[in-house]
């Protein structure tokens, strides 16, 4: 096996620094005792983390983002799993067109989607509601859930299912005990990617969110329009810390390599 040369190692190091530097800077500034954004900081302080207690809007927006991301991702998966199984296993007229339709939200700018959803939901009388926000996010995150679930379903060994049928398993038993465990890494990966996309979306959500349904990115965007203090950096640092904790727990319990690569379990081999 060939080793990376010095040029490749330098390139990789610079790439890692380029990707990690913004996160480090944000977390660094969050601990400043000053009332303004400054680098380098003179000393470390938890002033802006304590200040979050005076802004319950951020806590509420964080809860809305969590609930919105979890709900839209779960509903998207309810449609993504049967769609992935149908596309990966059957050949029928319009299959490619249907697949392109499912993935079409990836090709439409979120600004256009936001304006279109705003006009549509207003015309049907549900504009400004949480229901409208959930429907819009389901449409946006569905392609992400579908792609990873489809990759896992396509790489599954169908002979295991044939063996289950030959042993007398019915359709539901085969799906529950053979198919689902085999494609579970793809489902988990798709859910995670869909959740991240929903949680992080700003461009489309800003058109649909109302004072009662503001997500965290929208709340942060509105805050920095009128303020220049480091409070937003403390919010970002808190979210980064929570994300890292979740990833560490996920790696300990399930394994990030299985999630990120959507490798099937023993049933899929």
What span, in angstroms and rounded, lies between the C-alpha atoms of 22 and 19? 7
CA-CA distances (angstroms) from residue 262 to 37, 62, 259? 41, 28, 5
What pLDDT is stored for residue 205 in this prediction? 93
pTM summary value: 0.83
Inter-residue contact 140 to 193 (CB < 8 Å): no
Q: Which of 205, 157, 199, 265 is nearest to 65 (CA)?
A: 199
Look at the block and give the residue holding tokens 């998207």.
76
What pLDDT is stored for residue 182 in this prediction? 85
What pLDDT is stored for residue 78 in this prediction? 94
Burial of 180: CB neighbours in 10 Å, binned 0-12, 13-18, 19+? middle
Inter-residue contact 199 to 69 (CB < 8 Å): yes
Residue 134 has, within 13 A of its CA and on its CB side, a CA count of 15
What pLDDT is stored for residue 162 in this prediction? 81
How many helices (H) does the chain have, and how many strands (E)?
A: 13, 0
Per-residue pLDDT of the chain (269 residues; tens, 9 = 90+): 457 778 888 888 899 999 888 888 888 888 888 877 777 777 788 888 888 888 888 889 999 999 999 999 999 999 999 999 888 888 888 888 888 889 899 899 999 999 999 999 999 989 888 999 999 999 999 999 999 888 888 877 778 878 888 878 777 888 888 888 888 888 888 898 899 899 989 999 999 988 888 999 999 998 888 888 888 888 988 888 888 887 787 777 766 666 665 555 444 44
What span, in angstroms and rounded, lies between the C-alpha atoms of 74 and 194? 9
């Amino acid at each position: 096996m060939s080793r990376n040369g010095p040029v490749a190692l330098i390139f990789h190091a610079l790439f890692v620094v380029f990707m990690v530097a913004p996160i480090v800077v944000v977390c660094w500034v969050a601990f400043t005792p000053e009332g303004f954004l400054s680098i380098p900081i003179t000393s470390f302080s938890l002033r802006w983390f304590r200040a979050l207690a005076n802004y319950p809007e951020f806590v509420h927006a964080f809860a809305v983002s969590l609930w919105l991301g979890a709900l839209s991702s779960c509903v998207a998966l309810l449609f993504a799993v049967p769609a992935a199984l149908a596309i990966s296993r059957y050949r029928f007229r319009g299959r490619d067109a249907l697949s392109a339709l499912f993935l079409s939200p990836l090709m439409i700018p979120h600004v256009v989607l936001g304006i279109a959803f705003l006009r549509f939901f207003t015309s049907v009388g549900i504009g400004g509601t949480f229901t409208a926000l959930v429907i819009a996010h389901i449409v946006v995150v569905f392609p992400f859930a579908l792609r990873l679930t489809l990759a896992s379903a396509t790489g599954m060994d169908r002979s295991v299912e044939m063996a289950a049928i030959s042993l007398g398993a019915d359709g539901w038993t085969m799906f529950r005990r053979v198919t689902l465990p085999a494609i579970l890494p793809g489902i988990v990966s798709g859910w995670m990617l869909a959740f991240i996309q929903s949680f992080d979306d700003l461009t489309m959500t800003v058109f649909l969110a109302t004072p009662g349904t503001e997500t965290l990115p929208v709340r942060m965007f509105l805050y920095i329009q009128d303020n220049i203090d480091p409070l937003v950096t403390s919010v970002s640092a808190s979210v980064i810390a929570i994300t890292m904790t979740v990833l560490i727990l996920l790696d300990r319990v399930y394994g990030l390599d299985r999630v990120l690569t959507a490798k099937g379990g023993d049933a899929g081999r």
